[in-house]
Structure 1
Amino acid sequence: MSKHLEKGRLGEQIAVDYLERRGYHILETNYRHKRMEIDIIAVHDGVVLFIEVKARSSYQYGYPESAVDEHKIEMILACADYYIDQIGWNGEIRFDIIAILLGDPPKIEHLKDAF
C-alpha cells in the first residue's frame, strides 16, 4: 500500500476512534456509490453526519481541510443524497470535516457543519 493510502487509512481510524469516544455511532466507513465515496457516516443526537477525513503529516502543503475543494464537496453531496434515499432518511443531516495532523499524539480538528 502506498504511503498516501496508509496515511489516509490511519487518519480514518483516528477519526473513527475520536468520534466513538464522543458518543457517535458509526454507520458506515468508506461508503461508496459509483465513483463517489464518503469516509465516515455516523449518527449523533438524532443527526446523520457525513464526514470527510483529511490527514497530513505536516502543514507544508497547507491545512488538511483545505484539500476539500468544490469538486470533492459536490461528490460528497451526491453520494449523501443517494445514501439518504437508500435508507429513507427524512431527518436532519450535517456535513463535517475531520482534519488530522499526524503525530504523537495526532492533532485533531473537528469542523462541524463544514459545508
Structure 2
Amino acid sequence: MRILVVCGAGASSTFVALRIRRAAHAAGLDLAAFAGTERSLPIDLDSTDVVLLGPHLHRSLDEVRALAAPRGVAVGVLPDDVFTDLDGSRALALARAVADQGADPASA
C-alpha cells in the first residue's frame, strides 16, 4: 500500500509520513508513506492507494475525493491531534481503515 499524506506545504506531512513508515516497520507491514502538497496532489494520485489529508485541509475533502475516485484512491482526513501520535500507530490505523473502507471512516 502507498499512503500519501498531504498538507499545505509538505513540512507537517513529512513528519506524519515518517511516523507512519516507522509504525508500519514495527508492525512488520510492507507499505510506503510519503508526503505531498495540495499542488502536487494531482500528480501524486497516480502512484497512491490512500490519501490522508491534514486536518486543516478538511474543507478540500470533496474536491480531493473527486480527483481520487477515478483512480481508485481512498481518501481520509487526519484527526486534529495527529501530531500527538508520536509513534504513528493511530495514523497508520486510520490509513488502513480508509483503505479497507475505500472512504473516510468519519464520513461513512
Could you state the TM-score of these two structures normalised by the residue count of structure 2?
Answer: 0.48
Q: Which structure carries more relative contact order (alpha carbon 8 Å, separation 6+)?
A: 2
| Higher strand proportion | 1
Larger radius of gyration: 1
Q: Structure 1 length as normaliser, TM-score? A: 0.46
